[in-house]
Amino acid sequence: MNEERTRLDRSFFTRNDVLEVSRNLLGKYLVTDFGAGRTAGRIVEVEAYRAPEDKASHAYGNRFTERTKVMYSQGGHAYIYLCYGIHHLFNVVTGAEGMAHAVLIRALEPAENTTLMLRRRRMNKMAPRLTAGPGVLAQAMGISREYTGTDMLSAQSPIWIESRGGLVNEEDILASPRIGVDYAEECAAWEWRFFLRDNIWVSKRRGDEAKTMNKLL
């Protein structure tokens, strides 16, 4: 059975509501092709960051630095930064140019070329730790900081996001506070982490705490 694969267009990413874009990214596929082979994973967990009021955002208060300037690009660009000097974290810039909204991709369900993904992670068998977390998924997909600023809508981009048909039901989308943002004061409690119910590839399963999107909307 052939899947219909359609790359997401600019209008998907340039919407003003980063929370809506975040939820809509669940079930889509992150794809990379750096020459060694194409890899792909279904997005199962994300976090939204909304400047300028979000104290967890790198662009809080419209902070503009050499690192964060990519966040002010038009939606559809990749924002990749190094965390703790070890992990490369992949974010999707959203909104119109100058808005500095972003979505962190936190976990993927492996979908294509798992052999290469395992090799990149130095693993010999499938397990959630392959892609259940933002740092490990970037490693499995071959994503590194050198690709920050990449326009994923360019035909030459080695990174893109596509739809492969099938919709995620709203009742299967759960929400919780974001992970590792305790420093963000009142913003740390915002339930801007979205993930798929009962999916083993989610990085931290907080199903008991999470609310369904139907209760949030």
Judge whether 1 lies within some domain: no
Question: In this predicted model, what pLDDT tens digit does every residue of 67-99 receive, in sequence order?
Answer: 999 999 999 999 999 997 889 999 999 999 999
Residue 215: pLDDT band (50, 70, 90) is very low
155 CB-near residues (< 8 Å, 6+ apart) = none
> pTM of the entire structure?
0.92
Least confident of 153-157, 163-167, 168-172: 163-167
The CA distance from 106 to 196, in Å, is 12
Residue 65: pLDDT band (50, 70, 90) is very high
> Is residue 33 within 8 Å of residue 155, measured between CB atoms?
no
Looking at the structure of the chain, the number of domains it has is 1
The CA distance from 43 to 111, in Å, is 10
Question: In this predicted model, what pLDDT tens digit does every residue of 96-113 receive, in sequence order?
Answer: 999 999 999 999 999 999
Domain span including residue 190 = 6-216
The CA distance from 16 to 93, in Å, is 11
- The CATH number that applies at residue 177 is 3.10.300.10
